[in-house]
Amino acid sequence: MSLNLLKQIFFCFALMFPSFELNAKKRSYGILNQLAPELGLKDWIDGKGKKIDPIKLSDYRGQYIYLYFFQDWCPGCQKHGFPALRKLTNALDSTGKIKFFAIQTVFEGRWFNTRKKLRANQEKHNVYIPMAHDDGGESGERSILMGKYRSGGTPWTVLIDPSGKVIFNGFHIDEDKLISFFLKSQQKM
């Protein structure tokens, strides 16, 4: 296919869907420096796989909160995201300064990315933290949190400061720098 033909196809597509070209250029993800919205999810399990009451971020004001959005079938989640999460929880969970939560944010593959995958991922990756399943609720279209947090997909990380403000959101976080930050801040106390 020639480059000229591809340009014509793109031009026709942009004419049929005028917002396509604008959205492709202006797309921005995340809610950096904004107050983190409540999660609003009902389907949670604890670190032992038992169903628990919904987690509310407001219950953890005064602490840092680390949210990890994943899908079971996401290669980046399995290869990079969960190992980073395990490293962080192993190093920082006992400090009491940060709470960790993982949410399966389903935006495709509902038949595969099911509630049962929560416990399976806890065990597979030795990450025994509260996890939620977000399949879009009644609409069943797309993860609720992906909309609220404007995530770009998975794996997606959100770090919330003690006042409730989002101070990091993105595909990759440098876990070594985060561990160093928390351990140094703990030594100063």
pLDDT in tens, 109-136: 888 888 999 999 999 999 999 999 998 8
How far, in Å, CA of 99 to CA of 136, rounded? 24
Contact 106, 143 (CB under 8 A): yes
Which pLDDT value is given to residue 13? 37
> Which stretches of 53-145 are assigned E, i.e. beta strand?
64-70, 98-105, 131-134
Does pLDDT of 137 surpass 80? no
β-strand pairing of 44-45 with 131-134: antiparallel
**What count of other Cβ atoms lies within 10 Å of the Cβ of residue 13?**
11
As a whole number, mean pLDDT of residues 79-99 equals 93
Task: Look over the chain and give the mean of its residue pLDDT values, rounded to a whole number.
Answer: 85
Tokens at 139, concatenated: 């609409």
Which pLDDT value is given to residue 78? 95
